[in-house]
Amino acid sequence: MDIDLSKPLDLPAEFIERLHRIESLCKRHEFSEELVESREVSALVRDIDQYCNENRVIGVHYTRALPESISANGLLVRDGEEIRREFLRQHGHRFSEAEINEIKERWSKYFDRGQSSARDGRIFFNFTEIEIGESGSEYLLGLYGGEQVSMCFELDEALGIKLGTIGNPLVVRCALYPSQVKTFIEHPWGKILVSSFHAMINPNAYRIDQDGYQEVPVKPEDVIEVRVLTNRVTRTH
């Protein structure tokens, strides 16, 4: 089963029943981070998390790219130098010689050993879509090539504007094996799902999302949706 972490009511009936029992707590708590750590909710979080670990979860990848390429190839694991070299091979004709020199200079200054080790060989995901419209996602969706190409450019500068004419802003939804995904909190899947329920009961709740990454490619058959964004989306929490 592929579990959408933004849809707690798609869980098995036993979990839905237990979620409904915490509705009063959802109304009292403003922050999901506090809710999921409460004594009355922590066991439910662990049990849902275990259920997710026995299935697959939907990861959400934001990028500006060519949708047909992702549909055909999935999401590839590459290092930054390879990604940037391929970018120039495919799209270098769009830039003047002076612009290419500027691009290479900025890359050289920005992608030092620390930046490269944090990004090389990794595909990053969110697990809900609540970050669409936030500043981080605007750069991912607005500038072609992902962070390994566009991290050192701005949306409104000349080079950034050119990067924004390539490809489409995409939300790529993938079915992932939890054992292959590295996250940064304990029981992430249970916490995100309970937080999604929290937001259903209390629309003003501050929700939990979680970055994560994996170091294996996503096969084309595990890409379950490639959605082109046509309107700017914003959120309040």
Model confidence over 186-200: pLDDT tens digits?
Answer: 999 999 999 999 999
Q: Is residue 235 part of a domain?
A: no
Between 29-38, 97-106, 130-139, 218-227, the lowest mean confidence (pLDDT) is in 130-139
Q: Is residue 173 part of a domain?
A: yes
Q: Are 15 and 190 in contact (CB under 8 A)?
A: no
Q: Is residue 99 part of a domain?
A: yes
Q: Is residue 151 part of a domain?
A: yes
Domain total of the chain = 1
Range of the domain at 163: 2-228
Summary mean pLDDT of the chain = 94
Q: Is residue 110 part of a domain?
A: yes
Q: Is residue 123 part of a domain?
A: yes
Q: Which residues pair with 67 in a beta bridge?
A: none
pLDDT at 234 over 70: no
Q: Is residue 236 part of a domain?
A: no
Closest CA to 189 of 58, 49, 60: 49
pLDDT at 232 over 80: no
Q: Is residue 233 part of a domain?
A: no
pLDDT of residue 236: 35
pLDDT of residue 233: 47
